[in-house]
Structure 1
Amino acid sequence: MKEILAIIRPNKMTKTKEVLETLGSPAMTAIRVMGRGKQKAILNEVSMATKEPELLKAEGNMRYIPKRMISVVVPDEDTSLIVEAIMKINHTGQIGDGKIFVCPITDAFRVRTKENGDAAIF
């Protein structure tokens, strides 16, 4: 099993969720997160009220940008397919398209039934 962690733009969340469900991976965890890449900000990426409007005036000044982080656990053989799908949906060619991390999962447990391994997930 692998865990795929993807940090994406909030406006890509619905399409990402729909495609993952179509590919047979409907289970996911999604979290609203704040962060930034090495560029430190993206001009016009954020459209929200702030008490410090000067933070939105110039590229590189905003401390954090709203993003979504999704976590999907998939069988090893589906990892490439899911990663490629997430990349295709979220690619704009612009700074801020996101990051994807693939992590090994050594075991999983379903609390309700005490099943473990693949039976706890799939």
Structure 2
Amino acid sequence: MKEVIAIVRINMMNQTKRALTDCGVDAFFAHEAHGRGKGFVNPRILEGVEHGYEEAASLLGEKGKLYPKRLLTAVVEDSMVGCVVDTIINTNQTGMPGDGKVFVLPLKNAIRVRTGETGEKAIV
């Protein structure tokens, strides 16, 4: 079992949900999140500065600004990891900074509270 954690843009959530369902993953969590990357500047802000927009110039000074994102978490069988990761990347990749990140973590065990089932039986 693996836990796949993805950080994606808010406006990509509906497409990502549909794509994950098409991939065979119906169970996942989505959380509101705020964060930032290593400091890439949005090209639109730079264009705004070049055109003389004061609002854009003021945004360049916000070093600590956190941007709204969505954090997706899915626990899947090992055989599904490739499909899930590829689906998230293909759905969210625009080639621009802020497309997101995907993390894959090993998971020792899962237990379904209702039945007491453990391991992969608990997640299928």
Give the TM bin, normalised by the shorter chain: 0.7 to 0.9
2:89 is aligned to 87
RMSD: 2.2
Unaligned runs of 5+ in 1: 46-52
1:5 corresponds to 2:5? yes
Amino acid at match of 2:83: L
What is the aligned length?
A: 115
CA displacement 1:55-76 (0-9 Å, x = unmatched): 9632753520000000011111
Matched ranges for 1:25-36 at <5 A? 25-36=25-36
| Larger Rg belongs to | 2
Q: Which residue of 1 aligns with 2:15?
A: 15
Show the 5 A alignment for 1:1-122: 1-39=1-39, 42=42, 57-58=59-60, 61=63, 63-122=65-124
What percentage of residue pairs aligned between the two structures are identical?
39
Q: How far apart in 2 are the matches of 1:33 and 1:10? A: 9
CA distance in 2, matches of 1:41, 1:104: 33
1:10 partner letter: I
What letter matches 1:69 in structure 2? L
The one-letter code of the counterpart of 1:2 is K
Is the helix fraction higher in 1 or 2? Answer: 2
One-letter amino acid of the structure 1 residue matched with residue 111 of structure 2 = F
Give 4+ residue runs of structure 1 displaced > 4 Å after superposition: 53-56
Unaligned runs of 5+ in 2: 46-54
